Amino acid sequence: MRWIEFGLVLFHVWLMGWLTLGRPKSQRGWLIGGGIGAVLLVVHAFVEGMRWPMIPVYLITLWAIAGGARLFFHSAERPSNKRLRRWNIVLLGGVAAVYAAVAIALPLLFPVFSFAEPTGPHAIGTVTYHWIDSAREEKFTEVSGDSRELMVQIWYPASSEATGKPEPYLSDPVPYVEGLHELLQLPEFLFSGLKLVNTHAITNAELADTESKYPVLLFSHGFMGYKNQNMFQIEQLASHGYIVVGIEHAYSSVASVFPDQHVVKFDSEGKTGYEQMKYSFMDERNRVWVEDAKFVLDQIEALSANDPGGLFTGRLDLEHVGMFGHSFGGATTVQMLLDDSRIQAGINMDGVLYGEKRIPADGLKKPFLLMSADDTLKGVDHTGDAEIAALGTNREEIAAYYDELFARYEPVTAGGNYWMTFKNSKHMSFSDLYLLTPLFKWMEGGDVRRTHELINEYTLDFFDHYLKGQPLQYLNRSLGDHPEYTLQQGAE
């Protein structure tokens, strides 16, 4: 809960108790309480922004003011039955207690979450680009000849003297909130808090001068995700001296908003349920993502050679480039490791290994870390009939799906690479989504903040070692089974 919001809730719960149980008879008491509440509400509205979980609190202010106005017209005290009045107080007290519980619970259950403070020595800057690949025709538009367009956001280590207002999590939140509501089939109000979330990044901040160049990391989101869906991880990496390039894969993301304000949303190509999981469909779809990543890397090279804005010219260490991604973006990372020599190391976060190419039996020949949720690896024996029916398929097809999944995973650790499995975790534990409400923690049974801490520790350790040449801090000493995860490494 935000600080002004927190104070607003506490004051109004006290005010309601005083007005209900204390029952001040003078107009002055009601109006003073309502006036203070109104001032706090205005400050909250302008500084933090109003939102729906606070409606019960806002109504207390209106009630106090209305009560004062009522006493103005009915100032004479009416005689009353003391016994009846005592029961009225008990009844009002009970109602007030329930109302107070609701007023406190709603902001706690649906908070405007904040990201953990990055631990690196750098401030964070960010800049967004609209890039058009004129060499590729967009397959998802109805107009023939349209070129592929992408929104790309870059986060980077900024000068310690950088000043400015923190960048909002979503600069155009409405299409993303609507898209998440439509695709996840969850109430839209659940995502409304995203409109008020801020990051630690400052737009167009000066690049830090502590290093002449900084290694580059491409980030690829999940299927139906968006370019900054892993801000918890991106900010940590940027604060530790990485330039992180987030790709938003248009028509495969929940939404993309272009500079002329036209919006494109996820295109399922008419596939739903199990049809959308099939390897034949997803392998083909992945080709577009791989071409996106290659194109963005080409643009990054152009920025390094001559950035029109002057920010990145000569400052990108293209000798040390890595990639990481969640879900389908993790699969894209593996394909880039196999297909593009510029990517030197990669992390796949809970991504099924979709894509045209397979990991050879003797491994990727490049540093690689697969992170998995234990729920993703549960197999057909732990997949319920209701879950299978919801996908519109049968147990035989799901069994074949898992057989192929594990076959593709089999050579992951070959050549000395790593596979880390998080216990009590779900597929979306690797993104920002579960920060929306503690209800996810209670329903899913995992601690997303702790999972994020572990992801950040091992992500940073991996890239620091393989891109910066620093000694390993975690990967070399935590192999085996642990209370929160298991970590295995293949033979070199």
All structural domains of the chain, each given as residue ranges with its CATH number in brackets, are 3-109 (no CATH), 123-489 (3.40.50.1820)
Task: DSSP for 185-219, please give it.
Answer: T--GGGGGGGGG-EEEEEETPPBP-SSS-EEEEEE
Which single residue is written with the structure tokens 């083909």? Answer: 284
Per-residue pLDDT tens, the chain, 492 aa: give them.
688 999 999 998 888 888 877 666 566 777 788 889 899 999 999 998 999 999 999 999 888 888 766 655 555 455 455 555 666 667 777 888 898 899 999 999 999 999 999 999 999 999 999 999 999 999 999 888 899 999 999 999 998 888 888 999 999 999 999 999 998 888 888 899 999 999 999 999 999 999 999 999 999 999 999 999 999 999 999 999 999 999 999 999 999 999 998 999 999 999 999 999 999 999 999 999 999 999 999 999 999 999 999 999 999 999 999 999 999 999 999 999 999 999 999 999 999 999 999 999 999 999 999 999 999 998 888 888 999 999 999 999 999 999 999 999 999 999 999 999 999 999 999 999 999 998 887 777 778 999 999 999 999 999 999 999 999 999 998 999 999 999 999 998
8 A C-beta contact, residue 109 and residue 53? yes
Q: pTM for the whole thing?
A: 0.91
**Residue 348 near residue 331 (C-beta atoms within 8 A):** yes
What region does 359 belong to: left with phi over 0, alpha with psi -120 to 50, or beta? Answer: beta
CA distances from 248 to 128, 175, 221 (A): 11, 14, 7
Q: What span, in angstroms and rounded, lies between the C-alpha atoms of 226 and 288?
A: 16
Q: Which residue type occupies 159?
A: S
